[in-house]
Structure 1
C-alpha cells in the first residue's frame, strides 16, 4: 500500500476536523476501512483486490458497499461511507495536484465513487425526488424572485449565486469551478467546465446580472481572505474555491427564509429530502426556457446533456401545458 494513501487520509481528517470533529472521525473510519478492504485486511475478505484507494474503480467501491451490507451494516452506514469516500476523493482532487494542505502530490484520474451508488445494491433502494409526484418540479418565476430576495448574508455574493444558477442552468459543481477568466462580461457569456473533464461549453446570462457581477468582482470579492490568491469567482476565507455544499446551503436557507421549502420524503437514513435545492434552479431554467419558446436541442447544449432524450425526459413533462397550448395556436387543423 502506498504511504501516500495514509498521508492523504490524515490530511483529509485534519481538513474535516475544522468543521466537525465527529464527522471527521466517522469519515476517517470509513475511508480506512475501505483501504483495508482493498488490502484484504478486514473480516470476510480472504484476499485483497490488488488495488489501493488511488488505483481502483467503481466496481471495487460497490463491492465494498455490498460487503458492508453482508456484514450487517445498516443502509444508513453504507450511505455515510459513500459520502466519506466521495468527500475524500473531492479533496484529493482539489489539493493533490500540487500537494497543498498536507496532502501528498497525487493525481486520481477518475473518482471511483462517481459511478458507484449504494442504491443499485439489494436492500438499498429508496425513493428519489423523481419518484415522488412533483418532487422535482421547478419553481415559478415569482418563486425564484422570492428566493433571491431572501438569501442569507453575504447578500451580494449569495444573490449572485442564485441568479447565476437560474439564468445559466449550471450545475453547482460547475458554478464553484468558474474562474474569473472564464467570464466574458462584455458578451455576457461564461465558459463552463465539468467536474471531471477538460471539455467545456458556453452559457449566457442576462443584463440584469451586470451590476451583481461588477459589485462582487470589483468590490465585495476583495474582502475575502483568499481572493488575492484565487483564480475562482467564489473563493472563501478558508479555500481558493467554494465547496458545492456551500452552494446548496445558500439555496436551501433562502428557500426556508422565503417559506418555499417543503419536505418531499424521508429517506431510509431518516433524513428529510427537501424540494428546493441548487438543482431546482437548473430545473427551473430549463422549463422556463422551453415555456418561453426555446428550442429543446439548444437547451440540451446549454445544460451539457449528451443525449437529447435526457433533456426531453426531465424537462418536457413540466412543459406539457405550454406545448399543448402552442399546438392549439399554431398546429394545422385540417
Structure 2
C-alpha cells in the first residue's frame, strides 16, 4: 500500500469514526478525532508503520512522547481512550457505515497503558502549591535581562512567549510568511489542537524581531531553505526543548528559579519553564481588564471552563466588583 493510499484510507476511517461519535457527543467526537489524527501523524513522522500494523509498543512510545512534550496525564488518558474506541469501531464496522475494509493486525491499545509511563502518578505542577504560579512583571524583566547567548534570539523567544501566550510547540512552528509585521499579527498552527488561530504582539518587539529576521537569522546555515522563524545551523526548525532550556536557564541566571517537587527519577521539577510565560500572559491579560472569552480564543482553548480553571485562580481582578460596576441593573 502506497503512503498516499494509506493516508486516504486513514482519513476515511477517522472521518467515519467522527461521524459515529457525533451521534453520542459532538465535543467527544472532536476531541477523539484530534487525538487519532495526532497519533496518525506521529506514526508517519516517527515510525515506518501505519494505523493498521502498529502495536502496543508504538502506542506506549506515543504516550511517552506526549508526556515528554508536557501533555497533562489527563490528556494522555483521553488519547488512550480515543484510540481504543477508534480500533473498537473499526473492528465492529469494517466495510460498513463509511468505515474502510481494513484488517488491523492488533489493537495497539489492548496491551498498552499510559499508567506504565514514569511520572504519570507523580504530582503535577498544576497540583503542587504554587507550581503553576505566574510571574510578576518584574520577574519577566529579570528573565529577559538574563537570557543566555545568543541573546537576540533568546530574548525574542522569551518576549514572544510572554506577549502572545503561545505554547512552545507553536512558537517553533511559526513560519516567516505567517508573520504580518505591519499589523503585528502571527498566524499560529496549534499542534495540540490541530487548528490555526491568530495572536498579536506589541510594537515594543519590532526592533528585536527585525534584528533577528534581517540579521542574526541570516547567518544560520539553513536560513535560505527554512520557512520557519527560528531555524538553527543544523536544522530548519528549532527543537521545542531548546525553548524550555532558554527559559529555565534565564530563570536560573536571574536567581528566580524554584524547585516545586522531585519526580520518581529524582529529577527536580522547576516552577519556571516555557509554559510559565503562557500562564503569565493569560493572568496579566485578565488583570489588565481583558475579557476572559477573548483570552480563550487567543490561547486556543476549546472550552472556556479550561480558561477559567487555569487563569482565574491567580487573577487579582475582583470579578464580583466588576459585575456590580459594569453589569446591567434594569
- Specify if TM > 0.5: yes
Deviation at 1:195, TM superposition (A): 1.8
Does the 8 A contact of 2:135 with 2:276 survive in 1?
A: yes
SS at match of 1:229: coil
Deviation at 1:245, TM superposition (A): 0.2
Structure 1 residues 52 and 227, CA gap change in structure 2 (3 angstroms): closer
Do residues 162 (structure 1) and 158 (structure 2) align? yes
Distance 2:282 2:124 in 1: 20
SS at match of 1:288: helix
SS at match of 1:253: helix
**RMSD value over aligned CA atoms?**
3.5
SS at match of 1:269: coil
1:144 matched residue in structure 2: 140
Structure 1 residues 186 and 321, CA gap change in structure 2 (3 angstroms): closer
2:122 matched residue in structure 1: 126
Map 1:1-334 → 2, pairs under 5 A: 53-55=49-51, 60=56, 64=60, 83=68, 118-119=114-115, 124-195=120-191, 199-320=195-316, 322-323=318-319, 326=322
SS at match of 1:200: strand
Distance 1:130 1:57 in 2: 37
What is the CA deviation profile of residues 203-258 of structure 1, one whole-angstrom value per residue up to 9, with x for unaligned ones? 00000000011110011111111111111000001100000000000000000000
Normalization by structure 1: what TM-score?
Answer: 0.65
Where structure 2 has 5 or more consecutive residues not aligned to the other structure, the ranges are: 3-46, 72-107
What is the CA deviation profile of residues 6-56 of structure 1, one whole-angstrom value per residue up to 9, with x for unaligned ones? xxxxxxxxxxxxxxxxxxxxxxxxxxxxxxxxxxxxxxxxxxxxx974326
Where structure 1 has 5 or more consecutive residues not aligned to the other structure, the ranges are: 3-50, 66-77, 87-111
Normalization by structure 2: what TM-score?
Answer: 0.66
SS at match of 1:227: coil
Aligned length: 245
1:22 matched residue in structure 2: none
Deviation at 1:274, TM superposition (A): 0.2
